[in-house]
Structure 1
Amino acid sequence: MSTVTTTSATATAPQRSTWTIVRRAAWLANALFWSAFAVLEAVNHGWLAGTLALAFFVLPDLTFLVALDDAPRMAKGQLPPRAVPYYNAMHRALVPLALLVAYTVGPFSWAPAFAALCGWMAHISYDRAVGYGLRSKEGFQRA
């Protein structure tokens, strides 16, 4: 008598650790905070503040255009290596955060600049909340 073993081939979604969920939720809260602050600055200080907040919200992803001609030859999800330094520079949270601190304690006071920095921080925070981070030298998402 032979025994037949059957296994169910069900596809399972990758499990996310509790730490990953908490980290992404924190980034989402951060993103909502900076978005609200950018909108508040736009409402309080006019169209220029709103325009700069929106421009700096979009600006970090324009780094993809640096190597647009290389894009067709890249693997799925890979950023052309030539664009990686620009992408990583625009997606480091410490850069706009340091500029926000300098703006807050420094003698410089121009509300549209503050709104732009809020938009930049919102962009980075949304990216981290959905799982996008810095890129490796080869252009792939870092783990």
Structure 2
Amino acid sequence: MLNHRQTLFVNEYLVDLNATQAAIRAGYTVGSANETGCRLLRKPEIAETVRRAMAARAEKLHLSGEDVLRSIVEIRGRAVTRGKLSQALKANELLGKHLKLFTDRVEHAGHDGGPLEISDLELSNRLLTLIAILEERADGA
């Protein structure tokens, strides 16, 4: 069972998937928010609560991987038509990464210097957030 501040952390984390900012918004100390956020996400009961909430969000929105890819392709088409080449390039970058045409090597370390683990579901939700931003920019242009 999560305590009140842990529940606040989970709710805030679901806003932008930023553990540091979620810890700050939940009332944890700013100076140690990065470590606190990582530590909280490693707690099994918190990780499970986040996983269930993200799964429920995806189910509620009726989103699948195919939906996400289709949306990226549509955004790319609109961006090219409108001459928004930076947006089209970003869409192509996302598609290229999905197709593993190229990869960026980025090393992340957790609080103890070990590997930082991010679930496929969390990565998918971050991608959905990015797609929403791109759609908003494409529609507003």
**By the TM > 0.5 criterion, same fold?**
no
> Which of the two has greater helix per residue?
2
Q: TM-score range by the shorter chain?
A: under 0.3
Larger of the two Rg values belongs to structure: 1
Q: What's the TM-score, normalizing by structure 1?
A: 0.27
Q: What's the TM-score, normalizing by structure 2?
A: 0.28
